[in-house]
């Protein structure tokens, strides 16, 4: 009689030593990233503004080790006019095999919000893939980490990660644009709990063999010293079990992913926050809520201490 024993797919590919290639801190963001004043690809009730407008309206503020990216929280909108002013920035440089470390003190929170820190190539999406590192909607924790690819990329349901597999089809063969997602194990990975705890660090490693994402809360005892200090080198094999692990067992990551830019943005409603607004506790239409209640978005801002890229 043949006994089939399930094998837990392990993130056993040894991590490498990576050297710091790009440091984005404070005013560095004003030259190493561009403000994208573009129509929102996710159909959000948002008006992305350019850098001059963002700085003049104090929606972008950079000084010392602080970058603030915020939404307008004073203007009542008209249904026929533009959406709520907000910011979407994209790195000038793009990356293939690399590690990105985000040091975030505060992220946008509140009903109607849809913040994200992620990597992709916008032209021809999703031909070069997408890695969503920190993303959610309507302040519903925990964080969701997701890959999006062209069809023909799936993930095993069980693998060596601390998070919980939500979906496995990265290529959205059914056309729902869901991707293959993993939920973080702790509420303080996202939203109000994340902010109350002083935020934390997200690290993402991408190679031709895998994509791994880690989260360390601000007061966690296991934050790698290279991560917390912004060291010149990091050794990912010392980072422990990732929060999300995406292996190439049924996905050719080398061909599904190209050179990607880093993007940080805040939109409202749209394809995710809009469709889940009522189930998250909202009353009425998400767009109307965003248009009519500017003051509820006083906590809808990013406070980023730095983004570092290692190659």
Tokens of 137: 């909607």
The residue from 130, 205, 237, 291 that is catalytic is 130
Nearest alpha-carbon partner for 186 in 167, 206, 170, 202: 202
The residue from 36, 119, 122, 135 that is catalytic is 135
Residues 107, 71 contacting (CB under 8 angstroms): no
Q: Sign of dihedral through CA atoms 116, 266, 232, 188? A: negative
Tokens of 216: 């360390």
Residue 291 falls in the annotated catalytic set: no
Buried b (16+ CB within 10 A) or exposed e, 143-154: bbbbbbbbeebb
In whole angstroms, what is the distance from residue 53 CA to residue 225 CA?
Answer: 38
Residue 135 falls in the annotated catalytic set: yes
In whole angstroms, what is the distance from residue 164 CA to residue 149 CA?
Answer: 20
DSSP reduced 3-state for 31: helix
The 8-class DSSP code of residue 295 comes to G
Return the active site residues.
Answer: 130, 135
């Amino acid at each position: 009689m043949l006994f089939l024993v399930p094998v837990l797919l392990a993130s056993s590919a040894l991590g490498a030593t990576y050297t710091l290639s790009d440091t984005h801190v404070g005013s560095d963001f004003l030259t190493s990233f561009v403000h994208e004043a573009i129509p929102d690809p996710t159909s959000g009730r948002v008006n992305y503004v350019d850098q001059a407008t963002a700085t003049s309206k104090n929606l972008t503020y950079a000084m010392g080790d602080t970058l603030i990216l915020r939404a307008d929280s004073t203007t009542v909108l008209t249904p026929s006019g533009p959406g709520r002013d907000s910011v979407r920035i994209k790195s000038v440089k793009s990356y293939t095999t690399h590690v990105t470390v985000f040091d975030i003190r505060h992220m946008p929170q509140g009903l109607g919000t849809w913040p994200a820190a992620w990597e992709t190539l916008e032209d021809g999406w999703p031909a070069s893939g997408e890695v969503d590192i920190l993303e959610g909607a309507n302040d519903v924790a925990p964080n969701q980490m997701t890959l999006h690819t062209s069809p023909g990329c799936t993930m095993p349901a069980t693998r060596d990660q601390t998070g919980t597999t939500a979906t496995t089809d990265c290529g959205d063969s059914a056309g729902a644009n869901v991707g293959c997602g993993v939920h973080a194990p702790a509420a303080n990975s996202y939203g109000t709990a994340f902010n109350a705890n002083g935020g934390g660090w997200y690290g993402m490693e991408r190679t031709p063999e895998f994509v791994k994402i880690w989260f360390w809360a601000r007061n966690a005892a296991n934050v790698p010293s290279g991560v917390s200090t912004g060291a010149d080198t990091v050794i990912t094999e010392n980072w422990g079990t990732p929060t999300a692990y995406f292996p190439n067992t049924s996905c050719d990551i080398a061909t599904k992913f190209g050179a990607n830019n880093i993007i940080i943005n805040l939109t409202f409603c749209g394809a995710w926050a809009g469709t889940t607004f009522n189930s998250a506790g909202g009353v009425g239409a998400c767009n109307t809520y965003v248009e009519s209640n500017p003051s509820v978005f006083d906590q809808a801002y990013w406070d980023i201490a730095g983004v570092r890229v290692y190659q």
